[in-house]
Amino acid sequence: MKKLLLIGFSLFLAASALMAQPTNAIFTRTEDVIYGRKSGTALTLDVFQPAKPNGFGIAMMVSGGWFSSHEAINPVFFQALLNRGYTVFAVVHGSQPKFTITEIVPDIHRAIRFIRHQAAKYGVEPNKLGITGGSAGGHLSLMMGVKGGPGDANAKDVIDRESSAVQCVACFFPPTDFLNYSQPNEDAVGVGTLKDFKPGFGLRSDTAEERQKLGREISPIYFVSSNTPPVLIIHGNADKLVPIYQAEQFVKRCQDSGGAAKLVVREGKGHGWGGLDKDLDICADWFDEYLRGVKPKP
């Protein structure tokens, strides 16, 4: 636990680990499926296939502080998705400080392309993929929501020809705008609240101009459009690491663009809370409605 906190600065993954207990969901787990290679090492994901699959897949971002590890994969957290029949792909990406955010995002594009290419093998609908995660994992989920798109039709690797677009997002307390963090014009690009995460931003020169440029590039809010898929965010209003202002502004931008977006506020909660895994039922309802077309029961 302490290792995760120190290496990953990940309150989200720490809270998830604290909840670890035997899961009631019956599933088959396939570990260390290679979805790509990077700097001579394999990029992997684990596939969780429920006993009664519903034919839809969800990519789970295993990420806190843009740190990712196979050991952090905890099926307890996404039990609600398995119970509903979703096949879950737990994606491990290259971690900071070795890799920066701009180098990590392509890993997720590659993972979604791989899942789509292998959809038939895993029994999921290739054109109806969802994505989820918390904190940095939420940020990466939203980046796919706003920037996922067509692959290179001429790519040598057939996987890279696939689209990285997702059709639905449900996530927890994600950073969405590093240039306006808890209020307008508050810079958090490796400074201020996020100073401990500075290596992950990989600034070539630590100047206001460079931070503005990078902050815009890696902030999902600047890429919201009328084509942004439905987005659900669950966020505590006492979060000191990622202010709820981040979720409020992102959801508003989506709604102003004509998209389906919803914010669920957890009163008095910070960056992770006990029982957070139970809130994934709300995410499952969102996926049921916007992926499967099944309205949640009142």
d(CA 176, CA 173): 9
Q: What is the pLDDT of residues 249-287, one digit of tens each?
A: 999 999 999 999 999 999 999 999 888 888 999 999 999
Is pLDDT at 13 greater than 60 in this prediction?
Answer: no
pLDDT of 174:
98
pLDDT band with cut points at 50, 70 and 90 for residue 24 = low
Per-residue pLDDT at 112 exceeds 90: yes
What tokens does 216 get? 């815009």
Q: What is the structure's pLDDT at 275?
A: 83
- For 46-105, the pLDDT digits (tens) are 999 999 999 999 999 999 999 999 999 999 889 999 999 999 999 999 999 999 999 999
CA distance 112 to 91: 9
* Half-sphere exposure of residue 146: CA atoms within 13 angstroms, side-chain side: 25
CB 61 within 8 A of CB 173: no
Please report, as a single letter, which amino acid is at residue 291: L
Could you tell me which CATH number the domain at 2-175+228-289 has? 3.40.50.1820
* Percent above pLDDT 90 for the chain: 85
Tokens (6 digits) for 296? 């949640």
Question: Which 3 state secondary structure label does DSSP give 130?
Answer: strand
- pLDDT averaged over every residue in the chain: 91
Q: What is the rounded distance in angstroms from the CA atom of residue 40 to the CA atom of residue 77?
A: 31
Contact 104, 136 (CB under 8 A): no
Looking at residue 10, its pLDDT comes to: 42
State the pLDDT confidence band at 22, using cuts at 50, 70 and 90: very low
Percent of the chain with pLDDT over 70: 91
pLDDT at position 9, please? 38
Read off the pLDDT of each residue in 196-205 and give the average, rounded to a whole number.
91
pLDDT at 3: 36
Q: What is the pLDDT of residues 3-12, one digit of tens each?
A: 333 333 344 5
Give the chain's count of helices (H) and strands (E).
Answer: 10, 8
Q: Is the pLDDT of residue 15 over 60?
A: no
pLDDT tens-digit readout, 202-247: 988 889 999 999 999 999 999 999 999 999 999 999 999 999 999 9
Q: Where do the domains of the chain lie?
A: 2-175+228-289
Look at residue 16 and tell me whether its pLDDT is greater than 70: no
* pTM value > 0.75: yes
Q: Would the pLDDT of 124 be above 90?
A: yes
Q: Give per-residue pLDDT as tens, 175-189.
A: 999 999 999 999 999
